[in-house]
Structure 1
Amino acid sequence: MRHNRIRTIFCSSILAVAGALTAAPGHAQSPYDGLWSVTVVTKSGSCEPSTRSTLTVADGRVSAAGADISGTIGREGLVRVSIHGAYANGQLSGNTGSGKWNGASSGVPCSGRWEASRQ
């Protein structure tokens, strides 16, 4: 009889834990998570005329392999990123986006536009 009671308590505990796990919220994802191909074009200044990079958005945070980049993409697609001392902002919508950036090359100000598309 004691053995059945222990088994009942054990089974009830397992069911309670399983229920709690299924009720817990899943991994928070941003609607913009994934890989993005970004083209940066200089409109003024002496920075590199054009560059292309692949950035990763995970849980709304922007990163790139081997790059000094930090930033976020809001749930509404608002972009705010800092990379190598340059700053970019703009808007993503669906699988595309665009915006402006500014920075400096050898102390000389540069600025331009960027465009992104989800890969």
Structure 2
Amino acid sequence: MRHNRIRTIVCSVLAAGAALAAAPATAQTPYDGLWNVTVVTKTGTCEPSSRSTLTVADGKVSAPGADVTGSIGREGLVRVSIRGAYANGQLSGNAGSGKWNGASAGIPCSGRWEASRQ
């Protein structure tokens, strides 16, 4: 169950990063906005896949009800932490991708994520 929670959080973080890339011209950073994020587990016993929507505002990533910290740099570099899980990658224009790693019940998990701007 903890693994599913980590995966949901990672998806939320990635979605937030995607939101930054879709920001209007008046946004504080080029990637501010809403992002749809899909997280896929490649190794470990975490949930096979999940989807989430994240918000990026002034380069900071957030998601309702999730303990997410992270940022999207002006060049699109994604760095996010969610309850012991970590995601990094790159946004460019209206899309992005990267890798994530964490653990479920002490068992390591990792995989990839993809994001697109809403």
TM over 0.5: yes
Distance (Å, rounded) in 2 between the aligned partners of 1:115 and 1:33:
17
Distance (Å, rounded) in 1 between the aligned partners of 2:115 and 2:82:
15
- 1:40 is aligned to 39
The 1:96/1:82 distance shift into structure 2, 3 A limit, reads same
- 2:88 is aligned to 89
Shift of 1:83: 1.3
Greater relative CO (CA pairs within 8 A, separation 6+): 2
1:33-72 equivalences under 5 Å are 33-72=32-71
Distance (Å, rounded) in 2 between the aligned partners of 1:43 and 1:28:
35
- 1:98 is aligned to 97
**Runs of 5+ unmatched residues, structure 1:** 1-26
RMSD of the alignment, in Å? 1.2
Distance (Å, rounded) in 2 between the aligned partners of 1:84 and 1:51:
17
Give 4+ residue runs of structure 1 displaced > 6 Å after superposition: none
The 1:72/1:97 distance shift into structure 2, 3 A limit, reads same
Deviation track 1:33-75 (CA, whole Å, cap 9, x = no partner) reads 0000000000000001101010000000000000011100000
- Which stretch shows the higher mean deviation, 27-36 or 46-55? 27-36
SS state at 2:31 partner: coil
Figure out how many residues of one structure are paired with residues of the other and give that number: 93
AA aligned to 1:41 is: V
Larger radius of gyration: 1
Shift of 1:28: 7.0
1:71-82 equivalences under 5 Å are 71-82=70-81
Distance (Å, rounded) in 1 between the aligned partners of 2:75 and 2:53:
21
AA aligned to 2:106 is: G
Distance (Å, rounded) in 2 between the aligned partners of 1:38 and 1:44:
19
AA aligned to 1:82 is: S
